[in-house]
Amino acid sequence: MSFDLDHYKQTAKAVDVDDIDFDDFRDQPLSDDAIRCLHYMTDVETHTVCYLRDLLVTPSHQNPRITAFLTMWNFEEYWHGDVIDRILAVHHEVNGLPRHRSVRLSQGFKGNVVTPITQCLAAAVVGEDFIATHMTFGAVNEWSAHAAYGRLIELERHATLTKILQRIQQQESRHLAFYMSEARERLEKSRKAQRVTRFALRRLWAPVGSSISPKPETRFVLNHLLGGEGGGKIVKMLDSKVDKLPGQEGLSVVAKAMKAFGVRVAAA
Ligand SMILES: [Fe+2]
Ligand SMILES: [Fe+2]
């Protein structure tokens, strides 16, 4: 069944935290490890508008169904970052606009100029089938984000954090539903889309956030959330989801990325 975009458009909203008492974090602060993960997570969430910039120079921008979704998606992701920033603020951590700006500036000439230009050119060469690759990457990244929040909930066992992250997860699930339905439909229709996407997953996919964060931070977050016993199950689950997309079986992209970052994943 295809995704009900009209319903999504009407119901997209800032994640609701009106009933959350952020002072709970003063009484029961989060662990240092959780804080470090939340920094990484909010950097990713608040960078969504920049990922969007890089996607609007591709054939995805010619499809009004895709851009309607991306408009709402960007809005919701913005608020995910904002809410996480509020948690960090209670812990007296750097957060908000100065932090977002420093992340953007740290991308330098490569991230701010070379990446959008090369993405624009490569996508133009591929043409319409590029959208299948974009949708597939979107699906993998939403699966990863959902799983990462779930794992942080499990590790931290903090009632207020759980409430907030579960609400974020609900929105990530809707993003995932859109990306997955579009990816599946487009991959089913085109062998070329399957080949291009397979190539891109194998050669270009990297854990969400790894392109904008310092390597040690990515390694820490991957290790904390996806390493060891508990993480092994998640890595396997993520790779099995990719396996089920038309023409994308047997890639093990997530397991390979863990290895590339030196993360030891326990056999599930
Ligand atoms: Fe998000
Ligand atoms: Fe999302």
Give the domain ranges of the chain.
25-196
Mean pLDDT of 3-12: 96
CA angle 222, 228, 231 (to 5 degrees): 60
The Å distance, Cα 136 to ligand 2 centre, comes to 13
The Å distance, Cα 144 to ligand 2 centre, comes to 10
pLDDT in tens, 68-94: 999 999 999 999 999 999 999 999 999
CA angle 135, 261, 183 (to 5 degrees): 10
- Give the pLDDT score at 230: 83
* Amino acid sitting at position 130: F
Q: How far apart are the first and last CA of the chain?
A: 31
The Å distance, Cα 226 to ligand 2 centre, comes to 19
User: With contact defined as beta carbons under 8 Å apart, do 127 and 59 qualify?
Assistant: yes
Mean pLDDT of 33-43: 98
What DSSP character marks residue 127?
A: G
* Amino acid sitting at position 69: F
The Å distance, Cα 114 to ligand 2 centre, comes to 25
The Å distance, Cα 45 to ligand 1 centre, comes to 5
Tally the residues of the chain: 268
Q: How many C-beta atoms surround the C-beta of residue 204 within 10 A?
A: 12
- Give the pLDDT score at 265: 80
Looking at the predicted structure, is the pLDDT value of residue 266 above 80?
no
Looking at the predicted structure, is the pLDDT value of residue 11 above 70?
yes
- Give the pLDDT score at 267: 66
46 bridge partner residues: none
Query: Token pair 């009632």 is at which residue?
Result: 159
- Give the pLDDT score at 53: 94
CATH for the 25-196 domain, from 3.40.50, 1.20.120, 1.10.10, 1.20.1260: 1.20.1260
Nearest CA-CA partner of 193 in 133, 250, 142: 133
